[in-house]
Amino acid sequence: MARHAAPAGGLMPARSFDDLRDIARAHGPVRIAIAGGEDPNVLLAVTCMIEDGFVSHAILTGDAAAIRASAPSGTGRHLDAIDAHSPADCARAAVGAVRSGQADILMKGETDSTSYLRAVVDRDTGLRGSGVLSNVTVAHMPSLPRLIAATDNGILPAPTLEQKRAIILNTAPLFRGLGIDPVHVAAVCATEKASDTLPATRDAQALAQEPLAGFVVGGPFGYDVAVSPQAARIKALHDRPAAGVADLLLFSTIDAANAVAKSWKFHGQAETGSLVMGARVPVLLNSRSDGPGNRINGLLLAIAALTGA
């Protein structure tokens, strides 16, 4: 299976997070709103992004006095702190800053995920798009010559066939921003044979037969066939769409997607970043174990998604 060429605009496909920095520089600085801005990892990530010229302004919600006291010197003119006294208030205030046009990207700080997502999906005051929300994690690791992504590892527990289709399409702005066209998608299952006893394989088969603009979908594939051209050849599946060259791995459960994405970070020496797609703006749903580097990578992905919107 041939890899993708450079898209019509001449943008070469991003292959690392260093390439994402180039994309962010070309886009220009963005404004972000952060729910729960007292998180030291968040403050460090934002400071680095301000110093690098990727962020022009940040609105942080929470204990405003504590945020101002913790902010590194020299960043004050780039930061605003909004007093909010509960996780729900922090989330609502940050979402409100985006809705009012004061910020381009939403980021989770110390606010818990439940309060954060509840504010995002609120039908009256949130940032809902027209379809489902889904989370995607993008990784770069020494064992692969390209970026690779996994979805949905953060929102939908067991997506239906219709939701899987929407999850794939949600990633379109991100991959456009990364210069990856077409996007090779592998529907990852326990086996390469479609079977009624494993409904996920039937979903994979259906998706592989359905044309989706900008995407080449293959499956059902085991993880090995999805990522390794050698494994695809050994199993005589190398002529199937996306076999061995997947850019995006689509999983049937949040458990599988989450485990694989975290294994990349903890066992694959991967740089990773994550992003929620399907809202009106890019939304960052960080894990509490994420350090500043992962949060910076998430912001770089968000800027790429804005580029491809």
Instruction: Indicate if the pLDDT at residue 5 is higher than 60.
Output: no
Tokens of 270: 């991967």
Tell me the average pLDDT of the chain: 94
pLDDT band at 3 (very low <50, low <70, confident <90, very high): low
How high is the pLDDT of residue 7? 44
How high is the pLDDT of residue 123? 93
**Nearest residue to 92 (alpha-carbon basis) of 68, 67, 117:** 117
How high is the pLDDT of residue 118? 96
| Three-point CA angle 181, 27, 6, nearest 5° | 20
Identify the helix (H) or strand (E) that includes residue 149. Answer: strand 148-151
Mean pLDDT confidence for 132-154: 96
The secondary structure of 66-120 as a DSSP string is HHHHHSPTT-GGGEEEEE--SHHHHHHHHHHHHHTTS-SEEEE-SS-HHHHHHHH
57 and 28 Cβ atoms separated by less than 8 Å: no
Q: What CATH fold (topology level) applies to the domain 134-268?
A: Isopropylmalate Dehydrogenase (3.40.718)
188 and 159 Cβ atoms separated by less than 8 Å: no
Domain 17-128: give its CATH code: 3.40.718.10
Instruction: Indicate if the pLDDT at residue 235 is higher than 80.
Output: yes
**Nearest residue to 232 (alpha-carbon basis) of 284, 192, 174:** 192
Q: What is the per-residue pLDDT across 33-86, written as a single tens digit (0 to 9) for each?
A: 999 998 888 889 999 999 999 999 999 999 999 999 888 777 778 999 999 999
Instruction: Indicate if the pLDDT at residue 265 is higher than 50.
Output: yes
Most distant CA pair in the chain: distance in Å?
62
Identical fold for domains 17-128 and 134-268, yes or no, is: yes
149 and 179 Cβ atoms separated by less than 8 Å: no
How high is the pLDDT of residue 74? 73
Instruction: Indicate if the pLDDT at residue 287 is higher than 90.
Output: no
Q: What is the per-residue pLDDT across 165-188, written as a single tens digit (0 to 9) for each?
A: 999 999 999 999 999 999 999 999
Instruction: Indicate if the pLDDT at residue 6 is higher than 70.
Output: no
Instruction: Indicate if the pLDDT at residue 146 is higher than 60.
Output: yes
Tell me the C-alpha distance between 141 and 147, whole Å: 8
Residue spans of alpha helices (H) in 133-250 = 161-170, 172-178, 199-209, 223-227, 229-234
Q: What is the per-residue pLDDT across 200-234, written as a single tens digit (0 to 9) for each?
A: 999 999 999 999 999 999 999 999 999 999 999 99
Q: Residue ranges of the domains in the chain?
A: 17-128, 134-268
Share of the chain above pLDDT 70, in %: 96
End-to-end CA distance of the chain: 28
DSSP assigned state of 128: B
Return phi, psi of residue 26, to 5°. -65, -35
pLDDT band at 10 (very low <50, low <70, confident <90, very high): low
**Higher-confidence position of 130 and 303:** 303
Share of the chain above pLDDT 90, in %: 86
